[in-house]
Structure 1
Amino acid sequence: MRIRDRGKLKFMPAHFMPEHRALLLELDREELRKPRPLLDEYEIQELENRICYAMEYTYTVKISKWEDGFTYEETGQVHYLDPIRKEVRMVTADGCAVVIPFADIVAVVVKE
């Protein structure tokens, strides 16, 4: 004898509370988070050299930044390095200005 049930429909009433759904989404997001990568002095110096090189010759650069447990990539041309505020200002391909703090930069790739 075959059991006939409603499949996933029987669990749908458990998702009627918005707080419950938000909590489940936050738990899924927490599972995917990664710790901040540790960079030593030489790696940081190499990242700074690549950024300066790309800015001097106006090359396109792909900067990976760590933010809240996730890594995001920004691609564009470096416009200005601000040593006082410790941030990189760049312009993306679509013309948007992006500000990235030095502390959040994880990797830099120069596209010649």
Structure 2
Amino acid sequence: MSEVIHDKRWEQKFMLPEHREALLNRKQDVKKIEQPILDEYQLEEMARVICEAMEYNSALIIRFYRDGFIEEVAGRVQYIDEVKKKLHMKDLKGDTSLIPFLSLVAVETK
């Protein structure tokens, strides 16, 4: 009786690119989470921290939900767009991010 030894490295080297991409996408989908639901107190506290940071031009770390994942950006809030309901934030590299209010998960001072 002969025994076949499976080597995952060998299998991955000979996998078609589209199969490898599908496998990676499936792994990413498994890691996705549902958007956290915040209570009234958490929302008020985040608003207070944002307003205070804008007043003193302090840097913040903002965590927000996007497409099943929690993302993080560190920087300063430039202004709040009440009409579009988004924060305009400039990160520490100088890039601008538009973060929808409804996607906010956490805000803290840096």
TM range (shorter): 0.7 to 0.9
- Aligned twin of 1:31: 30
1:93-112 alignment, distance < 5 Å: 93-111=92-110
In the TM superposition, 1:29-108 aligns within 5 A as 29-108=28-107
Aligned structure 1 segments of 4 or more residues deviating by more than 6 angstroms: none
Flag the 1:73–1:4 CA change in 2: closer, same or farther, 3 A. Answer: same
The alignment's TM-score, normalised by the length of structure 1, stands at 0.85
Deviates further, 6-15 or 101-110: 6-15
* Cα distance in 2 for residues equivalent to 1:3 and 1:86: 62
Counting aligned pairs with the same residue, the percent is 35
The answer for unaligned runs of 5 or more in structure 2 is: none
TM-score by length of 2: 0.86
CA RMSD of aligned residues (A): 2.4
- The C-alpha deviation readout for 1:41-87, integer Å capped at 9, x for no partner, is 22111111111110011111000011111111100111101111100
Please state whether the residue corresponding to 2:36 is helix, strand or coil: coil
Query: What is the count of residue pairs matched by the alignment?
Result: 110
Q: Which amino acid aligns with 1:59?
A: S
Q: 1:10 Cα deviation (Å)?
A: 5.4
Shift of 1:4: 7.7
Question: Does structure 1 residue 19 correspond to structure 2 residue 18?
Answer: yes
> What's the secondary structure of 1:85's corresponding residue?
coil
